[in-house]
Structure formats: C-alpha cells, structure tokens
Amino acid sequence: MDAILTKGASTGETRLVNQCRLFLQFQRLFDICNGAGTKIRRDALSSTLCSTAYTKSSLSWPRQGTPSAKAWLTWRRVIRQTFLTDTQGPLRPYKLRRPLGDWTTPPLNQDTTWKYYYSPIRDTAYERVFHNSYWKFPRIPGRRNGITFASADPDERTQLPATTSPATIITSSMSQITLSTTRRA
C-alpha cells in the first residue's frame, strides 16, 4: 500500500484498492506475484482470485465483503500503473516494472505459505497438502522451460526444508509440473 500512496492515489482510490486487498487477503506485493517475482498473477487482477490456490496467510483478517465493480476497476488500474510495465492499452503480460528478486526470508519464518516451493540444493519441488505437510517431487533432468518435475507418484509427506523459495505452476499434466521460481539449481 505504501507504493500506491507514494504514486499519488487519492483517498477514495486508496479506500477502493484497500477493499480489494483485504478481500483478497494479501499484505505485500509478492502475495499476488508468481514464484519468480517477475509478474503479477493474472487471477490477482480479477474479482475471482482464489488466494488459497497459491498462497495462504496465517494472519487474522478483518471481514471484507465483495468489493464493487468500481473498486475492481480502480484496483486493476492502480496496480497496473504502480507496478506493471504495460500501463496502457489492453492488459497483456502482467510483467513487473521492477522484479522482486530472490527471497530473503526463509519460508518457515513467513506469515504467508505458498502451494509450491522449490529447493535448488535438493533440486526438488514441494507441494503443500496440509498445514505443515508437503509432497516432494523429483526434478526431470534436461528440461528447458522452467523447472519440470515428475508428478505421477509423489514421495511420502515431508516437512519443508529451510532452503526453499516459493514457486508457481507454469504448466501441469498428469505426469509432470513446471514451476516458476527465483532460484535455479
């Protein structure tokens, strides 16, 4: 919200944007970005974001009813003008003007948990299945598009290692998932 206020949003715009932010339950920009921190997720600019599909906050949030159509229009416009490279015309790539960079807080110390994580040290992907329980997936060697993992038979549930960073799915099928993340092996 600080960046939005710095950009000169009016009090009314800030109120409408905050309604959407509270409804989506996100605190920081990375909560609505891909795992690589290079783009805002497409669904984060719509009123139908299922925040638990990607991230889950452990914070207590105030109740926020569904924002109005005007609030969602203001949300998209302000987010676009504040953070994205594509500021006019049809909204296309959702690319951040300034990528977020590597994650600096270990995932176990964050108040937001992600659906997927990647450990470059173990070269393994992790999918959250319960609060503190994860399936791990081995990497498929030799793939060039993102980081690809076998997803047919996940190993037993495990704890999340401290050496992971958040990731988002680029593609998935019955036999593999491809993730976007900041750290590469």
Sequence spans of domains, the chain: 2-83, 107-181
Q: Judge whether 139 and 152 are in contact, CB under 8 Å.
A: no
Which whole-number Å values give the CA distances from 13 to 2, 10, 77, 181, in the listed order? 13, 5, 10, 32
pTM: 0.74
- pLDDT on residue 146: 64
pLDDT in tens, the chain (185 residues): 677 777 777 889 999 999 998 888 888 888 888 888 888 888 788 776 555 566 777 788 888 889 999 999 999 888 888 898 877 766 667 889 898 877 776 666 677 778 888 888 888 888 888 777 888 888 887 655 567 777 655 556 788 888 888 888 888 777 788 888 765 54
Rg over CA atoms, the chain: 17
- The values of phi and psi at residue 140, to 5°, are -90, 115
| The two three-digit tokens of residue 12, written as one number | 């009314």
Q: Residue 102 gets which letter from DSSP?
A: S
d(CA 83, CA 3): 9
Q: Which of 4, 12, 2 minimizes the C-alpha distance to 78?
A: 4
